[in-house]
């Protein structure tokens, strides 16, 4: 999958690209490319945003800047989905992640301050996605959330079996995974359930199924 992110801070994604499972698929199943609006802005001195028409606080990301950035990379209207990250978008769920992870090519657009000139969302994007009903300062953390959530669904990202029975998966009926425990078996009087120490795989399977929440 090719995943393109347009941002003002491409360097901020360096940390993410070093983390597994993303690092595992990078350069293989995942071709992650980062672009800065500043590199292609048609305005002077790296300007990318402007004051809102009608007045008010803050700055708005300009439509001509985003159009120039997309034109420079795609040389015309992209044939794939272009997603604006916005608190006003469709809410992100695991179902949406699974849907996006099936795409061959996807573009994410991040904004900051007051957000996008609405014409960007209307005319240059196919989707608008929110990572939750709260407002962050910019779209870079939301972009990273999406990149990570998508990357871990790509083939080879996770050890075999570990991605199927997860919280929100269809296999668990969209519910939450059973509780997990590791050593020590007892700590401050808090004991791991006996069944998990029993070595009886049938009983353990039953206990896990009963404890899906």
Q: Binding of ligand SAM at residue 62 (CB under 6 A)?
A: no
Measured between alpha carbons, how far is 61 from 142 in angstroms, rounded to an integer? 17
Q: Binding of ligand SAM at residue 111 (CB under 6 A)?
A: yes
- One of 98, 114, 148, 166 touching ligand SAM (CB under 6 A): 114
Site string for ligand SAM, 23-52 (x = CB under 6 A): ------------------------------
CB 50 within 8 A of CB 59: yes
Measured between alpha carbons, how far is 23 from 19 in angstroms, rounded to an integer? 5
CB 43 within 8 A of CB 65: yes
Least distance (Å) between residue 7 CB and ligand SAM = 10
Question: Which residue is associated with the tokens 């292609």?
Answer: 40
Residue 71 three-state SS: helix
For residue 176, whether the previous peptide bond is cis, meaning omega lies within 30 degrees of 0, is no
Q: How far is CA 163 from CA 27, 31, 108, 160, in A?
A: 21, 21, 24, 7
Q: Binding of ligand SAM at residue 134 (CB under 6 A)?
A: yes
- One of 115, 117, 152, 153 touching ligand SAM (CB under 6 A): 115
Least distance (Å) between residue 57 CB and ligand SAM = 10
Q: Binding of ligand SAM at residue 132 (CB under 6 A)?
A: yes
From the list 31-39, 47-55, 114-122, 195-203, the region that binds ligand SAM by CB under 6 A is: 114-122
Name the residue nearer to ligand SAM (CB basis): 87 or 163.
Answer: 87
């Amino acid at each position: 999958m090719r995943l393109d992110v347009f941002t003002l801070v491409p360097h901020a994604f360096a940390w993410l690209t070093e983390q597994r499972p993303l690092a595992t698929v990078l350069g293989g199943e995942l071709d992650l490319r980062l672009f800065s609006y500043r590199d292609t802005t048609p305005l002077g001195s790296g300007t990318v945003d402007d004051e809102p028409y009608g007045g008010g606080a803050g700055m708005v990301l300009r439509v001509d800047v985003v159009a120039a950035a997309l034109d420079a990379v795609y040389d015309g209207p992209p044939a794939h989905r272009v997603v604006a990250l916005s608190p006003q978008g469709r809410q992100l769920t695991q179902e949406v992640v699974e849907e996006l992870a099936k795409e061959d090519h996807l573009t994410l657009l991040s904004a900051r301050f007051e957000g996008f000139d609405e014409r960007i969302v209307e005319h240059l994007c196919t989707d608008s996605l929110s990572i939750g009903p709260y407002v962050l300062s910019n779209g870079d953390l939301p972009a990273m959330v999406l990149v990570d959530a998508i990357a871990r669904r790509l083939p080879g990202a996770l050890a075999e079996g570990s991605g199927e029975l997860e919280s929100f998966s269809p296999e668990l009926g969209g519910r939450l995974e059973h509780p997990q425990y590791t050593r020590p078996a007892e700590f401050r009087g808090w004991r791991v359930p006996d069944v998990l120490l029993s070595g009886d795989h049938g009983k353990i399977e039953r206990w896990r199924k009963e404890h899906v929440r």
